[in-house]
Amino acid sequence: MKRAAFFDIDGTLTSERAWRGVLEYFQNNRLRLGVHWLFLGLHYPLYFFRRARLISESTFRSNWAAHMAWYVRGYTVTQAQTVWDWAVEQHIRHYWRVDMLAILDQHRQAGDLVALVSSGPLPLIERVARELGVEHAVGTKFEIQNGRYTGRAIRPIVIDDVKASTAQQYFNQKGLEIDLTNSFAYADSIADLQLLEMTGNPTAVYPDQALLQIARNRGWRIIPDHL
């Protein structure tokens, strides 16, 4: 059995949201502005509905992640690669958490199976993984037909408890048996609770208040340690 280390990205490995790099690509290059404003026009009002508890956090985040597929509708995989490259090179690279990259590298050097697990578009997560020299990536898949993105995400979206189950399915499909009791998980949000609980060594990284409280109550490791 192999030991693994599962890393969330947004707020954990980065101090900024990785998906913002995708939005910035289209906005800065003045591409698909109609789609861009439709996306913002739909989702920003839903933010206030979420704050008012008229819709759930899960519903809000799930739709946000799914509708990111709109941006690359009609693109070939090669055309869309330009988007993912730009998001990493022009956006994400400026927001790495250096302390967390050091921990990720320690796991690689120890021979652990390192996996990035995120609700973001899988091809973007795979691009981030290549940037970090990580072999395994789990994210939300976008539908492709006849070599082009259809603008639809393949559900379920990789958020909440789906993160944990999809990560396990990923390794099962590769024929890799994971020793979860001795594995590690790193995440910043209460939404990632099931991913953290999946392993015997959970770490709350720059956690939100809800996750911080749970981590304290359960005696989990917290980064930074002054929290």
What pLDDT is recorded for position 135?
A: 95
Neighbours of 66 (CB within 10 A): 19
The Cα 61–Cα 58 span in angstroms is 5
Q: How many domains does the chain have?
A: 1
Question: Which of 70, 58, 63, 93 has the alpha carbon at shortest distance from 23?
Answer: 70
- pLDDT at residue 51, rounded to an integer: 77
pLDDT given for residue 175 in this prediction: 96
- Interval 107-136 mean pLDDT: 97
How confident is the model over 42-53, as pLDDT tens digits? 888 887 887 788
Q: Specify the pLDDT at position 224.
A: 94
Closest CA to 61 of 138, 120, 148: 120
Residue owning tokens 């910035």: 24
Residues 6 or more apart whose CB falls under 8 angstroms from that of 136 comprise 113, 114, 115, 116, 129, 170, 171
Q: Mind listing the pLDDT tens digit for each residue in 158-167?
A: 998 999 999 9
The model's pTM is 0.94
Contact status, residue 33 vs residue 152, Cβ threshold 8 Å: no
Q: Label residue 53 left, alpha or beta by phi (over 0 means left) and psi (-120 to 50 means alpha).
A: left
DSSP per residue, 155-177? SSPS-THHHHHHHHHHHHHTT--
Through-space distance between the first and last CA atoms of the chain, rounded to whole angstroms: 34
Q: Give the pLDDT score at 43.
A: 82
- pLDDT value for 132: 97
The pLDDT value given to residue 150: 98
Q: Return the bridge partners of 136, or none.
A: 115
Domain hosting 202: range is 4-223
Percent of the chain residues past pLDDT 70, beyond the cut = 100
CATH code at position 101: 3.40.50.1000
